[in-house]
Amino acid sequence: NAADWEATLRRMAAHQVRSDSGWLLAMVAAGLLSLTAVALSQRLMTAGRTKSAGFCLVTLPIAWAGCAADSGTALIMSGMTKSTDLTLQAEILQSYNSGALKPGIVFLAEVVGAIGYITLAVASARAHIMSRGTAVVLALGGAGTLITSSGPKTPLLVTAAVLLGVGHILAVRTTPI
């Protein structure tokens, strides 16, 4: 409801520098994670898993673009906090979040990306590109980060992001087995 959005805008205004910095870092992270996901997908291609690699090469960058879009939306919201009429801004946010773009398309991209991470992990383990344990950590971290990136459960997002980081590090450091 509009009152909840108004309260959210007030909290963002109280910590605007921290909030904006976090969202900018999230956008940069989305770009970097997209690149590493593509690199891991190309390892699948080299191993002969072309269908899985192709699926991952399409879904994972789109999902990370969705996460960057979420961050961009949050930065726009941050700009809204400077408005003198927060009630009107809250109504705009409520309208945006009930429309097709945010809840539908962006979340769908993130869900498809989660499936992409699971595909990447399973195919990589089957192709002996990484161990099963590394694949599990990568799948849980990737899917979890994409699904929780829009919030509101920060502890879940942080846990998933740590798993994703560890999964990427282990996957990159792992030599084919």
pTM of the entire predicted model: 0.81
Q: Report the half-sphere exposure of 94 (CA within 13 A, side-chain side).
A: 13
Is the predicted pLDDT of residue 119 greater than 60, yes or no? yes
Query: What pLDDT band is residue 94 in, cutting at 50, 70 and 90?
Result: confident
> Quick one: how far is CA 163 from the chain centroid?
13
Q: Which residues contact 83 (CB under 8 A, 6 or more apart)?
A: 89
